[in-house]
Amino acid sequence: MTEPPETPNGPDLLHFDLDGLRALIESLDQPAYRAKQIWRQLYQRGQLDASQMSDLPAELRRQLAEAAPVPAEPLETQRSEDGSTSKALIPLGDGELIETVLIRSAPRDTVCLSSQAGCAMGCVFCATGLQGLRRQLTAGEIMRQAILAREWSREEDRELTHVVFMGMGEPLANYANVSEAIARLTDPDGFALSPRRITVSTVGVPPGIRRLAADHPRVNLAVSLHAPDPQLRRELVPVPGASIDDILSAVREHNRMTGGRVTFEYVLLRGVNDSRGHARRLAERIAGLRAHVNLIPLNPSPGVVGDRPSRRATLSFQQALQDRGVPATVRVEQGRDIAAACGQLRGDRVRSAG
C-alpha cells in the first residue's frame, strides 16, 4: 500500500490496519487486545484523537497522542444553496489537497470519496484530470473522508448509508488502498457498511475490474464509457491500453463472476456524443450485458472541454436507449453551485487562492 506522508510525529492511527495497530500497541508494551478497542473507536465512533479514547488507560492515551497525530480538519467546507450537498477541502499530511462530497437525498446520505490527489486519466471534460496525478491516497486517507461525512450526517440526526468512489482519481489505479478501504468499510467491527451500498466507479481498467469482482463480488461497479465508438472514446478518455472491447469483455466477466448489474456512466457533450445515433450504437455495444446507463449532462468547469446538451437532447438520448431495451436514467444533479457535481472536483481552491 501507499506509504503515509511524512509528519513530525509519524503516521496517524488511520494509516494502520488491525495487524499494524497490534504491532504499534505491543511496541508500547501494552496488551494486543487494546488494538481492537482503538479500531472500534476509530471506525465506529469516529474518534480520531487518541487522548479522547475514554476506554483506554490514561498512559496509553498519552503514548498514542504523542506517537500519532490527529488528522487535519478541512480547510474549507461549503454547502449548496438547497442544502442537499456539502463539500470539504481536506489537507493531507504532506500538504496535498483533496475534495470530498456528501450528498443528502432522502432516505440516503451518500459520500463521494476521492482515491487519488489529482488523476492521470485525462478525461477532457473532468476538472480533476487537468492537474495530472499527484499521488495515491492511502487507505487511511480514504477512510478519513468517510468518517468525516458520517460525522456530518450524524450532526443532523441522519446516517451515512452509501459510499461511492467517484471523487478525485481513478480508484482501480490505486487498487491496493481502495481494496483495503473497502475491507474497513465493510468490517462488522469497523465501519460496518454493507458492500451492496458501496460503488466503485472506473473509466475502464480491465485488470482492476476483474480483481474487484474476485475480491469484492458484492460491491457495485460503475464504468464511465462516454462513447460507443473507439475513436471517439480515445478523444474523450485518452486512457492507453483500454479499448472499449477490452473494457466490455471485463464487464462481461464481472457480470458472470458476481451475478450483479453494472452501471455505465455516460457524460453527454453537446454535438459530440449526444445524438440518437450515438445512443443506438451504445445500445448495440452493451447488448446482452446486465447493465443500466446513467446519463450525466456535462457539468461545466473552467478549463474542461465541451458544452452542456439541451434537456431535449438528453431526454431524446435516454428514449433512444429505452426503445432498444436498455434501462437508462438521467442523473439527478446536486451541488453544481459549489462545484461539487460530477467532473467538477479539483482539490486546489485554497491553494489557488493563496
Over residues 301-311, the pLDDT tens digits come to 777 778 999 99
Catalytic annotation on 112? no
* Mean pLDDT, range 236-263, rounded to an integer: 93
User: What was the pLDDT predicted at 9?
Assistant: 58
* Residue keyed to cell 478549463: 303
Of the residues 112, 119, 126, 342, only one is catalytic, namely 342
Beta-carbon neighbour count of residue 312 at 10 Å? 8
Residue 351 has what pLDDT? Answer: 41
How far apart are the C-alpha atoms of 221 and 212, rounded to whole Å? 9
- Per-residue pLDDT, 6: 52
Q: Is 342 a catalytic residue?
A: yes
In this structure, are strands 262-268 and 291-297 parallel, antiparallel, or unpaired?
parallel
Mean pLDDT of 37-53: 97
Confidence band (pLDDT; 50, 70, 90) for 5?
A: low
* DSSP reduced 3-state for 222: strand
Between the ranges 15-19, 80-84, 237-241, where is the mean pLDDT highest? 15-19
Q: Tell me which of 238 and 129 has the higher pLDDT.
A: 238
For the segment 258-291, what is each residue's pLDDT rounded down to a tens digit?
Answer: 999 999 999 999 999 999 999 999 999 999 999 9
Rounded Cα distance between 2 and 200, Å, is 19
Cell triple for 56: 483506554
57: pLDDT strictly greater than 80: yes
The predicted model scores a pTM of 0.93
Query: What's the rounded Cα separation, in Å, for the pair 114 and 117?
Result: 8
| Residue in 160, 149, 166 with CA at minimum distance from that of residue 294 | 166
Is 230 a residue whose pLDDT tops 70?
Answer: yes
What are the structural domains, with CATH classification, of the chain?
13-67 (1.10.150.530), 76-353 (3.20.20.70)
- Average pLDDT over the chain reads 92
- Please list the alpha-helical segments (H only) found in the chain: 18-27, 34-40, 58-67, 139-155, 175-186, 206-215, 230-236, 244-258, 276-285, 311-323, 349-353
**In 3D, which of 317, 237, 318, 307 has the Cα closest to residue 272?**
307
- As given in the structure block, the three cell numbers for residue 346 are 479539483
Q: Per residue in 153-212, pLDDT tens?
A: 999 999 999 999 999 999 999 999 999 999 999 999 999 999 999 999 999 999 999 999
Cα dist from 164 to 182, 199, 311, whole Å: 11, 5, 26
Of 211-225, 231-245, 259-273, which range is least confident? 231-245
Dihedral in degrees, nearest 10, Cα atoms 63, 64, 70, 71 = 140
The pLDDT of residue 131? 80
Q: Which of 17-26, 58-67, 127-136, 306-315 is the least confident region?
A: 127-136
Q: Range with the lowest mean pLDDT among 124-128, 202-206, 235-239, 272-276?
A: 124-128
Q: What is residue 228's DSSP assignment?
A: S
The mean pLDDT value for 117-146 works out to 91
Which is catalytic among the residues 99, 141, 180, 265? 99
Lowest mean pLDDT among 91-105, 249-263, 323-337: 323-337
Predicted pLDDT of residue 239: 83
Backbone angles phi, psi at 324, to 5 degrees: -105, 20
- Confidence class of residue 115 from pLDDT cuts 50, 70 and 90? very high
Q: Which residues contact 294 (CB under 8 A, 6 or more apart)?
A: 222, 263, 264, 265, 266, 328, 329, 330, 331
